[in-house]
């Protein structure tokens, strides 16, 4: 996956550049999936930055649109980078192991369809789609027809 430049991203979002912000954003840019503040803290490159600083920095990045929130987990709020290299897509949260997986990006038609589901009196800015159930690893090769138990019969 392509990566954005840290300094360009900070300038674009009008965030002053500090060493800690650059290091945290570099770690976020290196990820291909979701993250929590706790998982960032556990990364080897950020071990000398305290969790409160990581939390405040991620909160600032969320406020300025550098990252987007995709849901909550037992380890805290789940985020992902918000850039041209990470287009809008849904997520899957496994209710057995707790992992989050990114699903393929929405097509233009699918994105448009999501917004048509909203009544006219609302003005949505973003859409978040999270499926919850059992991931392939936890499902363990069992018969897969039951995974779509909530879909109507055709």
Greater pLDDT, 91 or 110: 91
Task: Please tell me whether residues 70 and 125 are part of one structural domain.
Answer: no
pLDDT at 81 over 80: yes
Q: How many CB atoms lie within 10 A of CB 3?
A: 14
State the distance between the two ends of the chain, measured CA to CA, in whole angstroms. Answer: 37
Q: Do 102 and 91 contact (CB within 8 A), yes or no? A: yes
| Domain that residue 106 falls in | 87-135
pLDDT at 94: 92
Task: Please tell me whether residues 12 and 80 are part of one structural domain.
Answer: yes
pLDDT at 146 over 60: no
d(CA 68, CA 79): 6
Query: CB within 8 A of 100, min separation 6: which ones?
Result: 33, 34, 70, 71, 73, 78, 91, 92, 93, 94
d(CA 30, CA 4): 9
Could you tell me which residues are beta bridge partners of residue 147? Answer: none
Task: Please tell me whether residues 19 and 6 are part of one structural domain.
Answer: yes
Number of domains into which the chain is organized: 2
Mean pLDDT confidence for 88-114 = 88
Task: Please tell me whether residues 21 and 35 are part of one structural domain.
Answer: yes
Residue 154 lies in a domain: no
Query: CB within 8 A of 39, min separation 6: which ones?
Result: 75
Q: What is the CATH number of the domain that holds 53?
A: 1.10.10.10
Helix, coil or strand: residue 135? coil
Q: What is the CATH number of the domain that holds 130?
A: 3.30.1490.190
Mean pLDDT confidence for 97-118 = 87
pLDDT at 128: 83
Task: Please tell me whether residues 36 and 76 are part of one structural domain.
Answer: yes
Residue 34 lies in a domain: yes
Condensed to tens digits (0 to 9), the pLDDT of residues 12-51 reads 999 999 999 999 999 999 988 899 999 999 888 898 999 9
Q: Per-residue confidence at 143, pLDDT binned at 50, 70, 90?
A: low
Residue 150 lies in a domain: no
Q: What is the H or E stretch that residue 103 is in?
A: strand 100-105
Task: Please tell me whether residues 52 and 92 are part of one structural domain.
Answer: no
Could you tell me how many residues make up the chain? Answer: 154
């Amino acid at each position: 996956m392509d990566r954005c430049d840290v300094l360009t991203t900070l300038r674009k979002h009008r965030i002053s550049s500090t060493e800690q912000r650059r290091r945290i954003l570099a770690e976020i840019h290196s990820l291909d999936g979701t993250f929590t503040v706790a998982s960032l803290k556990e990364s080897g490159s950020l071990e000398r930055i305290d969790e409160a600083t990581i939390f405040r920095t991620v909160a600032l990045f969320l406020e300025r649109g550098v990252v987007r929130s995709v849901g909550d987990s037992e380890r805290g709020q789940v985020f992902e980078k918000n850039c041209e290299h990470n287009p809008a897509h849904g997520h899957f949260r496994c209710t057995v192991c707790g992992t989050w997986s990114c699903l393929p990006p929405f097509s233009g038609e699918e994105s448009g369809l999501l917004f048509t589901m909203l009544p006219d009196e609302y003005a949505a800015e973003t859409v978040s789609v999270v499926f919850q159930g059992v991931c392939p690893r936890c499902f363990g090769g069992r018969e897969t027809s039951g995974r779509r138990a909530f879909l109507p019969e055709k």
